[in-house]
Homo-oligomer: A and B are copies of this chain.
Amino acid sequence: MKQLDVCLTPDLLHLHKLENSIVVVADIFRATSCMVTGLAYGIQSITPVATVEECKVLQDKGYIAAAERNAQKVEGFELDNSPFSYMDERLIGAKVAMTTTNGTLSIAKARPSAVKIMVGAFLNLGALVNQLRSEQYDVLVLCAGWKGRPNLEDTLFAGALAEALQDEFMLMEDSVLMAQRLYQQGKDNLLSFVANSSHVRRLQRLGIQKDIAFSLQTDLYDVVPVLRGGALVSID
C-alpha cells in the first residue's frame, strides 16, 4: 500500500527519503493558490525559482515575472502574489516566472530528489486527490510554512489531503496524524479556524483578507500543476 506523509516545513525535508515519492508542495497563502489559479485561467507555464535574481534573469528573457518577499511585491516585477492577479486575460498563453518567500523555495528544495513535483491548494484539492489515486508512488505533502516554521493553513491542507486519501494510502507518521486531526477539527469553517494564525494576521495587516477567503475555497479548479523541465504546467 502506498504511504502518505507530511513534512511540516522545508527545514525538515532532510528527514524524508523522496526517491519513491511524489512531492505535493502547498503554500496556501498564497503561492500555490496563485499557481493553480493561473494555470486554470490559461497561463501556459509557471517557472518557480528560488531567488529574486533568477526571476529577474527570466524576466529579461521575456517571461512575465512575479516576485514576492515578506508577503509584498518586489519592485520591478509585474505580478504580485494574489490569486486575483492571475485572473487576467493578458496572461493567457504566457510564460510566467515566479519567486516567493516560501513556496518556490520549497519546490527548489524538493526538486533534486522527488519522483515528481505537483502543486496543491484547496482550490484544486479534488483534482489532486484523483491524480494521486491514479499514481503508483508514495506522496509527501511538503508544507511551505513561513521562513522555516510550520504554519496552520498549509498543515490544514495536508490534513485535507490525508482525510481524502486515507483509504488508499497508509498514514503512518505523527505529522500526518496531527495534520489530519487539525483538519477534522477545522474543516467546517476553515476561515474562522485560521483566523488567529500568524500568517492571517500578517496578511490582514497588509489588507489581503480577500486572498485568504479565496484561497480557502475547495475545488474551484480542475488543474493539477506538475513540474516538467523546470516549469509548472497542467497535467493533461
Chain B hits for A173, CB < 8 A: 149, 198
Chain B hits for A8, CB < 8 A: 8, 150
Q: How far is the CA of A173 from the CA of B175 in the complex (A)?
A: 18
User: How many copies, total?
Assistant: 2
**A residues 1-57 in Cβ contact with B at 8 Å:** 8-9, 11-12, 14-15
Chain B hits for A149, CB < 8 A: 12, 15, 173-175
Interface residues on A, range: 20 to 34
Q: How far is the CA of A148 from the CA of B17 in the complex (A)?
A: 14
Q: A174-B198, A198-B173, A198-B174 are in contact. Are A148 and B181 (CB under 8 A)?
A: no
Residues of A with Cβ closer than 8 Å to B?
8-9, 11-12, 14-15, 146-152, 155, 172-175, 177-178, 181-182, 185-186, 196-199
